[in-house]
Structure 1
Amino acid sequence: ITIVRRRPIPRKGHRKSRAGCIVCKKRKVKCDESLPQCGQCLRLGLSCQYTIAPANLSQVVGEPREVVQRQIHTSAPTFGIDDLKFFQNFLFHAYPPLPIEGWDVWQQVGQMSHGYVFLAHSMLGLGASHLAVLSGADYEQAALRHRVTAMTALNEHMRKTKYSKADADAAFAAMLNLTFQAAYMADGLTDFLTLVRGCSQSREGFVVGNTLLPKFEDSAFKTFARASYVEKVRKLIGSSGEAESLDAAVAEEFCNSLKRLAPICRSVPELQYLAMMQRIANFAVTNPAESYHEHSFLYERLGELSMEDFSSFMNPQNYASRLIIMHMLTLDFVMSRKDVQDGSRLGSSEAYQKGFDCRKNMSVAWISQMLSELPEEYQVYAEWIQRFSQGLTFSFDSDDEIWKPFLLHHGKANLPSSQYHGSMQQVES
């Protein structure tokens, strides 16, 4: 018997490129080796670097036809028709409505977006979320995709040690966009308050802070300073021709509801928030302009909390803080008066007003969600806020001026008994 040995079957060869960029190697993802920046790094806004120099020019550029094809697909982010719609919506309607009279600033920011990936995607994300709430269209996935891309690229940008004026303005604008986008998301409450805290951790005197803007007076956002904001509000209130103050009965019930929370508060910051909101409500009855001034500090207080206090405040099982947040959102709703809107050429438009409307609509949804999660033993502390929030059933009909029931018009209260049948009953403190 003759034994014939089989020859070993040769392994099928394959070509494994070692010319990928450093970033893709570290991330252990496939690099498309595009030059001067690979598609992965371009998409995420990362700094692309190569370690192996090509042996000849053809390795860099390839054949002319290959260069054209590669540039078409990887030289810039690809945007679709919906993205153009989101961008237009941002520029004209969805840009952050506070501080007021910011339209000109946001037009400047729009011109910067081509140079900053994170800024462009933050604008598209906010435009998409705003449009989804306003129209009911299914843009949530697109909004989330732009949000994730913007946050990833912004985090990379903020690792820089030095910023030009444009770098700082772009980063600050993106932070504001991401903050207001969270205010239009059903699950965005935690993101909203966390981002507000990030914007607020700054030197005193600014409505939204200036962490990245050490020379705020040179920034495109210099008109966003608190003093400027309050002065604009005073002028708007003074030119409205009406004395519109919060109805004293509503303010009293709101303050009584806050007082009931004091015994269950677990920290000094929580008690300080109760006192701050009582001041705002009381001033809303007697001095609306001063009330808006006090209100401008409401969210900035989050930036002054230690990490431990902030974590406790945001804990979903801290039901005292949940109740405080419900009162904050309710106060925001009432303070977002129809008169306080942009004084620019687009400021008085119906679309601009809906920038406030979208946020108020989501505030009602957040309050409703938190009420449903309260344990039975805490329901007693939510009686007034629950009754009051039920009267905030929202509509985007421009003729449905739901803010009117809370205000005095020339000394005459407009508080329908059918809407607040139990509102005149005192809540024991």
Structure 2
Amino acid sequence: MDDMRFFQHFILNAYPHLPVNNSQVWIQTVPAFSHNYDYLMHSMLGLAATHLSAITNVDYSDAALSHRVRAIEGFNKALSKKPEKEPDGDALLATMYSLTFQSAFMSDSLIEFLIMVRGCVMLSGQLLSQSSIAFFVIDWYSHLKYMEPRLDDLPFVDVSLAERAAESLEALKLVLEDEVNSFYYHELVNVVSGIKVSSKLGYWRLVGIYNVMGMLSDAKFSAFANPNNTIGQILLAHFMALEVVMLPMLEREYDKTFPTNQLINRCNWFDTIEGSVPPEFQHFIRWPAEILNDAREKWKAMAMTSGLTVAKRT
């Protein structure tokens, strides 16, 4: 019975909003062929179970983890073969996105989330080069074409927020330790400079950062995502804060109201980062802490009227 509920919840409320402008594929096409791909079905049920656990008081974590493990096992086997028929490529992509979005709701899963984001970028490029996508529209031009009219009349970002972000990043210049941290740092600086020009430019530069994960070599990605990379963790905290600042722009990606609970787990991730940063580096995360803790309080207020469970500070 739970799996039936998970399946229904996936279609109604839990399917990924990315790639943009693919809602009908997620709602109609993917469920229609999912029974032919066990790993895809498990990824859908796992995401739905995790999502339900995040927005209700019912704990489906055991079922969510079981489905996730089986989805990953099946996905890895399928990935070792080149897609041969429709919709093999779409099944792989849908599984990758479902696993990624599930990790976004999981506590202590920041590294796993980064790995999954990297997987989405790399798999998308591979499937496009092989012309192995039958239903999803995933090329960058289509994203641009869909989003441009939706980004009209955007609200302005408070100039003081952008200035404080710039000041916080400027202070980090003194402690950048290697090429990888410097690369990600400059991507964040570009986002902030874009915000100062316009909300639209800030949006395009922010979403472009996700592609950075796929551009790094395996060695550089591992070095950057390592929890012991203190500067890298501080940079990720800044990225989370910028996501919150840009929330009014990011919600334009959705066909319906932006599900704020998708970002709630960022508070848990930030708490972990904050707790791991040595005392001598704590001042570098003051700005992200200000943004994320303020957002946490706002989300708590929203939860009181919507029944959401909001992460508490540890």
Residue 327 of structure 1 is matched in structure 2 by: 238
Matched ranges for 1:132-147 at <5 A: 132-147=53-68
After TM superposition, the runs of 4+ consecutive aligned structure 1 residues lying more than 3 A away are 215-218
TM-score, normalised to structure 1, is: 0.66
Q: Please give the alpha-carbon distance, in whole angstroms, between the structure 1 residues aligned to 2:79 and 2:19.
A: 24
- What residue identity is the alignment partner of 1:366? W
Q: Output one character per residue of 1:292-318: Cα deviation in whole Å (capped at 9) or x when no partner.
A: 222222011111112221111111111
Letter in 1 for 2:37: Y
Matches within 5 A, 1:6-405: 81-106=1-26, 107-201=28-122, 209-216=124-131, 218-222=133-137, 224-238=138-152, 242-337=153-248, 340-341=251-252, 347-348=255-256, 350=257, 353-354=258-259, 357-393=260-296, 394-395=299-300, 397=302
Partner Cα distance (2:73, 2:154) in 1: 47
Q: Which consecutive unaligned segments of at least 5 residues does structure 2 have?
A: 306-314
The answer to whether the 8 A contact 1:245-1:286 is kept is no
Tell me the secondary structure at the aligned position of residue 156 of structure 2. Answer: strand
In structure 2, the CA distance between the partners of 1:142 and 1:399, relative to structure 1 (3 Å rule), is closer
Which of 144-153 and 134-143 deviates more?
A: 134-143
Paired amino acid for 1:159: S
Report the Cα offset of residue 85 of structure 1.
1.0
Question: Aligned partners of 1:112, 1:396: CA distance in 2, in Å?
Answer: 40
TM-superposed deviation, 1:383? 2.0
Report the CA distance between 1:326 and its aligned residue: 0.6
Between the aligned partners of 1:104 and 1:388, the Cα distance in structure 2 is 34
Distance 2:288 2:115 in 1: 24
Aligned-partner Cα distance in 1 for 2:127–2:48 = 24
Name the stretch that deviates more: 130-139 or 117-126: 130-139
Deviation at 1:157, TM superposition (A): 1.2
- The structure, 1 or 2, with the larger RCO (C-alpha pairs under 8 Å, 6+ apart) is 2
SS in 2 for 1:132: helix
Equivalent-residue separation in structure 2 for 1:271 and 1:388 (angstroms): 23
Q: How many residue pairs align between the two structures?
A: 302
| Matched position secondary structure for 2:245 | helix
Cα separation, 1, equivalents of 2:252 and 2:19: 9
User: In the alignment, residue 362 of structure 1 is paired with which amino acid?
Assistant: N
- Which structure shows the higher helix fraction? 2
RMSD (CA atoms): 2.2
Farther-moved stretch of structure 1 (297-306 vs 286-295): 286-295
Note the residue ranges of structure 1 that are not aligned, 5 or more in a row: 1-80, 203-208, 401-429
Relative to the length of structure 2, the TM-score reads: 0.89
